[in-house]
Structure formats: C-alpha cells, structure tokens
C-alpha cells in the first residue's frame, strides 16, 4: 500500500503564504489504514495544559507571532483506510518560547474534518522546553466515537526526541520546509 500512502500525501496540498513548500525527505511513520502493522494511532498523555472549549478555527497563527510558520494537516481514516468526515480535531501547543497560554486560547483551536477526512491548521513550530521535545497536542473524536488524545512529533529534533520519555516514533510527522515556513503531515487512524 505504499502507493496509496504516497497518493494520500499528495492528495492534501499544503501551501504556506501562497507558495508550495517542497515535500522532501518523506518518511513513512504515519499509519495509513489497516495495512500498517502498528494499527490505530497510539494514544498519549494529555499533559497539564489542555483547556476545554477551544475556539472553532484553523488559523492559530497571529500576526507578529514569533516562530517558524507551520501548516500542519493530513487525513483522519478508519482502520480500512476510509476517510472519516466530521471528526473533531482539537490542537494546542506551546509558543516559540516554550510557554502555553493557560489564561486564554492563544495557539489553541479546533475544527472538523471535511467529507474526505481532511484537517489542517496554520500555526507555528513550538519550542522545546525542559523535559520535552517539540510536539503538538491533539484530541480527535468521530461522531459517537471514542476520544483519542495524542501528541505529534517533529523528525528533525533527533536529540530532543531521544531524551523525551513520552516520545513515540509512530507519531512522527512528515515535514518539509525551512526556518521561515514548514509543512507537516500526519494521517490519523481511529480505531472506533
């Protein structure tokens, strides 16, 4: 099914500032339906910084915000690789200094997948902070389905990933870009 994975990666055009970022150094850590031996996307700890009732929005980046611009997206699939529509995708993260906004909703938001299972956020690359590598927190829930809480990781931070006791290589995103703008992709597989 590698051809299917390549097609899924290409099916979601991720652009930033109107220009496509080259999709180089692709990796194959993302589960893509029932053909992946790891099965459904693994759950991970929520962490201490979740805030309920995030705003419905895909644009988390605010003008003047420090950090590398990031467009992150992908698909939400069932175990048979069928796209899942209307899945809640809630994302929260640290800022470019490694701080979370615990008083408001800066770098926090949610959306619902479209009929083809696509999700996407515009944000920034989070900073590393003591004890953790770069990561994004995500909660997903299909209509009437179980809630999945997990985290996504950046492949370029090998040393940070090795030090982080929570890190799971199955949750590495495919990334491309540079210090100004980056794209990342992860396709979730929900068990039910």
Beta bridge partners of 109: 91
Q: What domain count does the chain have? A: 1
Q: In whole angstroms, give the CA distance from residue 152 to residue 173.
A: 7
Q: In whole angstroms, give the CA distance from residue 17 to residue 69.
A: 9
Q: What is the pTM of this model?
A: 0.82
Q: In whole angstroms, give the CA distance from residue 101 to residue 118.
A: 27
Q: In whole angstroms, give the CA distance from residue 29 to residue 179.
A: 23
The answer to whether the CB of 142 falls within 8 A of the CB of 89 is no
Domain that holds residue 92: 2-189
Per-residue pLDDT of the chain (192 residues; tens, 9 = 90+): 333 333 334 444 443 333 333 333 333 444 445 444 458 999 999 988 999 999 999 999 999 999 999 999 999 999 999 999 999 999 999 999 999 999 999 999 999 999 999 999 999 999 998 889 999 999 999 999 999 999 999 998 899 999 999 999 999 999 999 888 999 999 999 996
Return the CATH number at 155.
Answer: 2.60.130.10
Q: In whole angstroms, give the CA distance from residue 148 to residue 82.
A: 18
């Amino acid at each position: 099914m590698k051809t299917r994975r390549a097609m899924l990666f290409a099916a979601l055009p991720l652009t930033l500032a109107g220009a496509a970022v080259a999709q180089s150094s692709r990796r194959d850590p993302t589960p893509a339906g029932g053909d992946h031996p790891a099965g459904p996307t693994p759950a991970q700890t929520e962490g201490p910084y979740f805030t309920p009732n995030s705003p419905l929005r895909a644009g988390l980046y605010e003008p003047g915000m420090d950090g590398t611009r990031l467009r992150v997206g992908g698909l939400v699939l069932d175990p048979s690789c069928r796209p899942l529509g209307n899945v809640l995708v809630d994302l929260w993260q640290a800022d470019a200094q490694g701080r979370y906004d615990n008083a408001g909703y800066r770098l926090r938001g949610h959306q619902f997948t479209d009929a083809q299972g696509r999700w996407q956020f515009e944000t920034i690359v989070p900073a590393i902070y003591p004890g953790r590598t770069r990561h994004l927190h995500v909660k997903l829930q299909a209509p009437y389905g179980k809630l999945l809480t997990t985290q996504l990781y950046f492949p370029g931070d090998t040393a940070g990933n090795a030090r982080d006791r929570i890190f799971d290589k199955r949750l590495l995103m495919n990334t491309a870009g540079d210090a100004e703008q980056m794209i990342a992709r992860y396709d979730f597989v929900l068990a039910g």
